[in-house]
C-alpha cells in the first residue's frame, strides 16, 4: 500500500475520482429507476464506493501535503482540493494537531495569506457546493468551513494589526498579506458578521490607509466596500472614497428585500446616526449622509 500511495500522481488521482463520480451517478440512476442494488443482488456497491472514496481521500491528502512549497494547492491542484473539502466536516472532531486534515488546513491557510488566486478558488468551491447540493446536506459542512475562514482571517488581521502597532510592518514585505486579506473581506463581506473579525478589520483599514493610499480596481466589484459604510466615521470616509471607483451594485433598482434585509435590519445604528442628528451640522452627520447618498446611488 505504501508503495502505491507514494507513486500516486495528480493524473492518477483525478482519474480515480472521475471513476468514483461515474459509479455514484450510475448507482443513483439505478435507484431512481427502481432497480436498486438490493434488487440486483449487489448490496455491496454503497460500501465499496465508501471505501474507494476513503482511500482516495487518504491518497490525496498525502499527495497534496507533499507538494513543493512553491506549488499552491488551491492554485495548482484545485480539481483535487475541491472534492477533498468534503472532509472538513470532521475538522473539529479531529483533535490531533498532526492529522492530515489539520496539516492540510494549515498549509492552505498559509498560502491564502498571500495569494488572491488561492482565496478566489477557495470561495468559488464553497459557492459551487452551495449551488450543487441541497442545503440540508451541505449546510453543516459549509458552516464548519466558514467558521474556519473567520478564525483564519481574524488571526491574520490580528497579526498584521499587531505588527503595525509596534511599527514592525514593512510595506515592501507585507503588502501581499494586506492585499490578500483586504481582497477576501471586501469580496466576501459575510465574514464581517463575526464581531471579532469586524473589530480587527476596522482597525486594519484605518492603519493601512495611513500607510498606503487605498485604491481599488474599478473594473471589479467589491461588495464589501458598502459594508464599510457601517463602520465608524474614519472607515466610512475611506469607504466613501473607494466607492467612487467601483460600479453600481448588481441589484434591481431599490430592491426592497436587499434594502430591508441587507441594510435596515442588519445595520439600524447607521440610519440612527442620520435620523437622530437630522438637525445637526456635525461631521459625523455629514459623513453618514454622504455615505447613505452614495449607497442609494449605487443600488
Burial readout 144-163 (b: 16 or more C-beta within 10 A, e: otherwise)? bbbeebbebbbebbbbbbeb
When comparing pLDDT for 209 and 154, which is higher? 154
Can you tell me the distance from the alpha carbon of 147 to that of 92, in angstroms, rounded to the nearest whole number? 10
Categorise residue 194: left if φ over 0, alpha if ψ from -120 to 50, beta otherwise: beta
Mean pLDDT of 124-129: 96
Q: Which three cell numbers stand for residue 77?
A: 491542484
Mean of pLDDT over the chain:
81
* Residue 126 binned pLDDT confidence (cut-offs 50, 70, 90): very high
Mean pLDDT of 40-65: 85
When comparing pLDDT for 98 and 236, which is higher? 98
Q: What is the pLDDT of residues 107-117, one digit of tens each?
A: 999 999 999 99
pLDDT at residue 41, rounded to an integer: 45
Q: Identify whether the C-beta of residue 141 lies closer than 8 Å to the C-beta of residue 155.
A: no
Can you tell me the distance from the alpha carbon of 38 to that of 54, in angstroms, rounded to the nearest whole number? 23
CA 212 distance to own-chain centroid: 25
Can you tell me the distance from the alpha carbon of 193 to that of 189, in angstroms, rounded to the nearest whole number? 8
Can you tell me the distance from the alpha carbon of 71 to that of 80, in angstroms, rounded to the nearest whole number? 13
Dihedral, CA atoms, 226, 241, 230, 221, nearest 10 degrees?
A: 10
Q: What is the pLDDT of residues 132-170, one digit of tens each?
A: 999 999 999 999 999 999 999 999 999 999 999 998 887
pLDDT at residue 232, rounded to an integer: 79
Q: Find cell 488571526 and name the residue.
A: 155
Q: What percent of the chain has pLDDT over 90?
A: 49
Q: Which residues contact 27 (CB under 8 A, 6 or more apart)?
A: 37, 45, 46, 49
* Residue 99 binned pLDDT confidence (cut-offs 50, 70, 90): very high
When comparing pLDDT for 255 and 105, which is higher? 105
Residue 89: how many CB atoms within 10 A of its CB? Answer: 15
- Please say if the pLDDT value at position 83 is more than 80: yes
Can you tell me the distance from the alpha carbon of 130 to that of 139, in angstroms, rounded to the nearest whole number? 8
pLDDT at residue 225, rounded to an integer: 84
Q: Domains of the chain: which residue ranges?
A: 1-35+43-66, 69-214, 220-299
- Please say if the pLDDT value at position 199 is more than 50: yes
Q: Which of 42-56, 122-136, 183-197 has the lowest mean pLDDT?
A: 42-56
pTM of the entire structure?
Answer: 0.80
Q: Which residues contact 117 (CB under 8 A, 6 or more apart)?
A: 72, 74, 75
pLDDT at residue 212, rounded to an integer: 77
Please state at what angle helix 116-132 crosses helix 135-165, rounded to 10 degrees: 160
pLDDT at residue 291, rounded to an integer: 57
Closest-CA residue to 10 (of 67, 83, 93, 84): 67
Q: What is the pLDDT of residues 7-35, one digit of tens each?
A: 689 999 999 999 999 998 888 777 666 55
Q: What is the pLDDT of residues 222-279, one digit of tens each?
A: 888 878 877 877 888 888 888 776 655 554 434 444 444 555 555 555 555 555 544 4
Q: What percent of the chain has pLDDT over 70?
A: 74
pLDDT at residue 224, rounded to an integer: 84
* Residue 37 binned pLDDT confidence (cut-offs 50, 70, 90): low
Mean pLDDT of 76-93: 96
Amino acid at each position: 500500500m505504501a508503495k502505491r500511495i507514494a507513486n500516486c500522481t495528480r493524473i492518477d488521482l483525478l482519474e480515480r475520482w472521475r471513476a468514483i463520480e461515474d459509479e455514484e451517478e450510475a448507482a443513483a440512476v439505478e435507484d431512481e429507476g427502481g432497480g436498486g442494488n438490493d434488487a440486483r443482488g449487489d448490496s455491496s456497491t454503497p460500501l465499496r464506493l465508501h471505501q474507494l472514496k476513503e482511500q482516495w481521500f487518504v491518497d490525496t491528502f498525502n499527495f497534496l501535503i507533499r507538494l513543493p512549497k512553491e506549488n499552491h494547492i488551491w492554485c495548482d491542484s484545485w480539481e483535487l482540493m475541491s472534492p477533498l473539502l468534503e472532509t472538513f466536516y470532521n475538522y473539529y472532531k479531529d483533535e490531533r494537531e498532526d492529522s492530515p486534515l489539520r496539516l492540510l488546513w494549515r498549509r492552505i491557510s498559509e498560502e491564502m495569506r498571500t495569494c488572491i488566486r488561492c482565496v478566489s478558488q477557495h470561495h468559488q468551491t464553497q459557492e459551487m457546493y452551495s449551488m450543487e447540493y441541497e442545503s440540508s446536506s451541505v449546510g453543516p459542512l459549509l458552516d464548519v468551513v466558514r467558521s474556519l475562514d473567520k478564525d483564519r482571517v481574524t488571526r491574520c488581521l490580528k497579526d498584521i494589526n499587531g505588527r503595525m502597532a509596534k511599527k514592525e510592518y514593512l510595506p515592501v514585505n507585507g503588502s501581499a498579506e494586506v492585499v490578500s486579506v483586504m481582497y477576501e473581506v471586501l469580496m466576501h463581506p459575510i465574514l464581517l458578521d463575526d464581531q471579532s473579525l469586524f473589530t480587527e478589520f476596522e482597525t486594519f483599514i484605518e492603519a493601512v490607509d495611513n500607510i498606503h493610499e487605498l485604491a481599488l480596481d474599478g473594473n471589479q466589484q467589491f461588495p464589501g466596500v458598502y459594508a464599510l459604510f457601517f463602520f465608524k466615521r474614519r472607515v466610512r470616509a475611506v469607504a466613501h472614497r473607494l466607492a467612487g471607483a467601483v460600479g453600481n451594485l448588481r441589484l434591481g433598482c431599490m430592491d426592497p428585500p436587499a434594502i430591508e434585509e441587507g441594510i435596515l435590519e442588519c445595520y439600524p445604528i447607521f440610519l440612527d446616526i442620520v435620523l437622530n442628528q437630522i438637525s445637526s451640522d456635525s461631521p459625523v452627520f455629514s459623513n453618514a449622509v454622504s455615505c447613505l447618498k452614495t449607497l442609494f446611488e449605487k443600488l
